Structure 1
């Protein structure tokens, strides 16, 4: 269109063109007495051959399949404001992640939509705002369609009964079209990692010239991986090939190799007052191995005098444009001046007390997980100076203790020097590949043995060891 500034610019003429195309398609299906019309955008990849049959079987008026991306973006909204903008709701993630299974009534579906034209009420559906009485929304095809359904009391449903496919994340107006190639690569990884059988990914099989790998400006990039988890190492190496990241592997300390004798030989003691906040139990051998693996990385940073280091675990997925976003975050950190640790991925445990410090960074509050983070030399030194092996707790409890955001004051008392400066990317750049309870979820910390009771502080004559559960390695 003549008034477009680029391929991602949605000008008024582009909206008019798309609105006209959608309305013409809908009216054509009506004229030829179609029972159904499935409208699917070109950035949708349906990988389930039974998608159409499955949606028809639900017998709803308007139905859409949940489509995954390599982020939280999808083809539905669970909430809409009075001004017809997207509204975040608590029900969105459980539906997207299939923590709740079924078909759900929602205010917006788009990109891939099935309409049951056998029902007379669908004559009220339209993409043209002028056809809607007292229309007060924007000139936008998907919003107009949603408003026409709402005003006609037509329910729209999103279904996640099966895995149906994927959708690309829309480009922002200033994004270059070439970045879409990276999104395709990320989408291929998502299908390989979490999608249906591998033959569905054959549509992506083509020769790709990968750029030369670098460390994204960091002194080093480490990935922690258990030797007995080679499948994770292979998957992550594929990710690093696509992301052009030069990464050094660190063999994780395997909790299965630990026992009371090895722990004593290492001089490890455990916080006497520790009990897992949720499960009310001591640490597991897997959690101890997890801590020692990160502790190994912190020592490498000091030994090699690394100024900045990215630390990754082996069960993560990366957000689109990961490289660009990391570079932007590090530029902001540099402008802030002093910093010690930046979370790239985490489980946020507080909804307040996290003020913004820049466009993409917030001051980190009490958090779980050590999926991925950036650490400065000074930050590594502070973590080691805390002498955590004398009063060990899970590593994701230790970090918020050191930046003085842990809710348990009695735990913080064991570490008097709590001046770690910690920020977090917002939004996050790294997420787990699987969540607890999902198919394919494996935890080498949670599914690990507990230390014998006689080694827990206060329960035996010669030990100060306690036990729990948390991060996956």
Structure 2
């Protein structure tokens, strides 16, 4: 990106979650990095017409193993707003955070680390709050390991998206039919060059109840086991294709 890169930190925050905004604002102010608020989309307030415009229910029924909750739909729309803001503000990239995260001390070094990358990345994972995935070492950038993945880890609470990455994502979505954190695992389908910086600098907070689960718990959604299996198989081959295009590197 270079030292002159134009960047921002975006924090997704629902209007009704003022306490979360105070908490994350305090954390970022303590680090001394500038940030902006992206007003999140409250899935509970969406009409059926709003949902039908962006959520492909038919494709979800045939290609995914449960129907998204209103919270997940609102979450995806919130991230779409953040990606659009990258283009609207003519940024080179943005660090995108959900408002219920905790930041490692090393988070403060992200901008200067990103400035040293000359790889053609679209999206960089800076959090993996769920199952860890195998990382393939590309190099060391300061105190961070720069990696790609056999399959990117789930979780959208912290990631960096470039202008090129935002363009690719917005060209394909909406409509969407998978949760945003699952969708970002599909590197080949979305045409994304997904990378990671280890150790991760962002994690989910355990102090707040998930706004997504408060609107609708996806764990309670009726599942379609056969579609789940098909989804896992297709995701495996999507990852194989993405890694074949990326070429061999040493695994860590």
Compute the TM-score of the two structures, normalised by the length of structure 2: 0.75
Matches within 5 A, 1:17-36: none
Establish whether residue 233 from structure 1 lines up as the match of residue 21 from structure 2: yes
Q: Deviations over 1:200-241 (max 9, x none)?
A: xxxxxxxxxxxxxxxx96522110001101000001111121
Establish whether residue 395 from structure 1 lines up as the match of residue 180 from structure 2: yes
Establish whether residue 338 from structure 1 lines up as the match of residue 124 from structure 2: no
Across the two proteins, how many residue pairs are aligned to each other? 208
Whole-angstrom CA distance in 2 between matches of 1:333 and 1:234: 32
- The answer to which structure has the higher helix fraction is 2
Over the residues paired in the alignment, what is the CA RMSD in angstroms?
2.3
- Aligned residue for 2:198? 426
- Aligned residue for 2:30? 242
- Aligned residue for 2:161? 375
Whole-angstrom CA distance in 1 between matches of 2:108 and 2:132: 27
8 Å Cα contact 2:64/2:178 also seen in 1: no
Selected match of 2:210 from 438, 443, 446: 443
Establish whether residue 355 from structure 1 lines up as the match of residue 140 from structure 2: no
Q: CA deviation at 1:450?
A: 7.8
Whole-angstrom CA distance in 1 between matches of 2:63 and 2:114: 35
8 Å Cα contact 2:124/2:196 also seen in 1: yes
Matches within 5 A, 1:143-182: none
8 Å Cα contact 2:5/2:115 also seen in 1: no
Q: CA deviation at 1:282?
A: 1.7
Provide structure 2 residue ranges, at least 5 long, that are not aligned to the other structure.
219-252
Distance of aligned partners of 1:348 and 1:422 in 2 relative to their CA distance in 1, 3 Å threshold: farther
Q: CA deviation at 1:245?
A: 1.5
Whole-angstrom CA distance in 2 between matches of 1:294 and 1:351: 23
Q: Deviations over 1:141-189 (max 9, x none)?
A: xxxxxxxxxxxxxxxxxxxxxxxxxxxxxxxxxxxxxxxxxxxxxxxxx
Q: CA deviation at 1:303?
A: 2.2
Compute the TM-score of the two structures, normalised by the length of structure 1: 0.41
8 Å Cα contact 1:332/1:358 also seen in 2: no
Q: Deviations over 1:343-389 (max 9, x none)?
A: 1112354543x211112111032311111111111010011111x22
Distance of aligned partners of 1:236 and 1:338 in 2 relative to their CA distance in 1, 3 Å threshold: same
- Aligned residue for 1:202? none
Structure with greater Cα Rg = 1
Off by >4 Å, runs of 4+ in structure 1: none
Selected match of 2:56 from 269, 293, 299: 269
- Aligned residue for 2:82? 297
RCO (CA 8 Å, sep 6+): is it higher in 1 or 2? 2
Matches within 5 A, 1:28-177: none
Selected match of 1:288 from 73, 78, 81: 73
Q: CA deviation at 1:441?
A: 3.9
Whole-angstrom CA distance in 1 between matches of 2:204 and 2:14: 16
